[in-house]
A = this chain, B = another copy of it.
């Protein structure tokens, strides 16, 4: 259940989970998702872990799904990404994230399941699902409109352009923006502050806050997954992925249909 690219360390009641796979821009593989989900599942049971901090390095969070790994999966594989998202979404202890550099796709959507998110001023977010002929995941179709309102969410999810930390903060994804060299210390101090709170009161507070949309989150993930599975097998997505792997331009006729 471990992976060399997911590093765990416990300090002062905080489980620090670091995503580190520098040569691939911290892109997440099936095996890394498994390790992330396991780390959280383990943390849930350890009373010595009172808060979790997820981070990359001070210039990089994650480029998102590893596209090659993603394309090699069989449709019948259980998606470990989905499992990780279910685990983090149901996680009862507080989760803090420290985000610097690129936070693409699931690198942004996983933040919607965190309680406190600190971003470096160099952070660059992106939700490029539509550009890949895919649809939102991780209940982002529910949680982003709730945090940001429909129009801000539509801008991020439908246009799919990169956006900076200020826009992420305005969209309710991020709590605070920091200079990159102060990010990790600041996020850890906040995680530690949470670890020092009365644990039951904190867990009850988090549960009460999630209670009103608990069922909606699960339903959104289910609905998204159905459409995601259809879209990933569709001609436009196949052409876009193939072009990416073959390092050639996309053929518009295959994306938009011949009749355009």
Residue A155, interface by CB 8 Å:
yes
**A209 and B154 contact, CB distance less than 8 A:** yes
| A132 contact set on B, CB distance < 8 A | 201
In the bound complex, what is the Cα–Cα distance between A200 and B117 (angstroms)? 32
Which residues between 206 and 260 of chain A lie within 8 Å of chain B, taking CB atoms?
Answer: 206, 208-212, 216, 219-220, 223-224, 227, 231, 234, 236-237, 240, 255-257, 259-260
Residue A71, interface by CB 8 Å:
no
| A48 contact set on B, CB distance < 8 A | 260
In the bound complex, what is the Cα–Cα distance between A154 and B146 (angstroms)? 14
Residue A131, interface by CB 8 Å:
yes
Residue A174, interface by CB 8 Å:
yes
**B152 and A149 contact, CB distance less than 8 A:** no
| A114 contact set on B, CB distance < 8 A | 151
Residue A101, interface by CB 8 Å:
no
**Range class of the A interface residue count:** 35 or more
Which residues between 190 and 215 of chain A lie within 8 Å of chain B, taking CB atoms?
Answer: 190, 193-194, 197-202, 204-206, 208-212
| A154 contact set on B, CB distance < 8 A | 94, 115-116, 206, 209
**A255 and B198 contact, CB distance less than 8 A:** yes
Which residues between 111 and 150 of chain A lie within 8 Å of chain B, taking CB atoms?
Answer: 112, 114-117, 129-136, 141-150
**A115 and B227 contact, CB distance less than 8 A:** no
| A136 contact set on B, CB distance < 8 A | 205, 208-209
**B149 and A202 contact, CB distance less than 8 A:** no
| A112 contact set on B, CB distance < 8 A | 150
Among A47, A143, A149, A172, residue most surrounded by chain B Cβ atoms (within 10 Å): A149
Q: Given A115-B151, A135-B204, A150-B209, 19 other A-B contacts at CB below 8 A?
A: A47-B257, A47-B259, A116-B155, A117-B151, A130-B201, A130-B205, A136-B209, A142-B209, A145-B146, A147-B151, A149-B172, A151-B172, A154-B206, A159-B194, A198-B255, A200-B236, A204-B227, A208-B223, A212-B216
13 residue pairs A–B, Cβ–Cβ below 8 Å? A48-B260, A94-B158, A117-B151, A130-B201, A130-B202, A142-B212, A147-B151, A151-B172, A153-B209, A155-B175, A159-B194, A198-B256, A211-B220
For the complex of A and B, list the 8 residue pairs with the smallest distance between their C-beta atoms, beginning with the closest: A149-B172, A147-B149, A141-B208, A133-B198, A115-B154, A198-B236, A135-B204, A133-B201
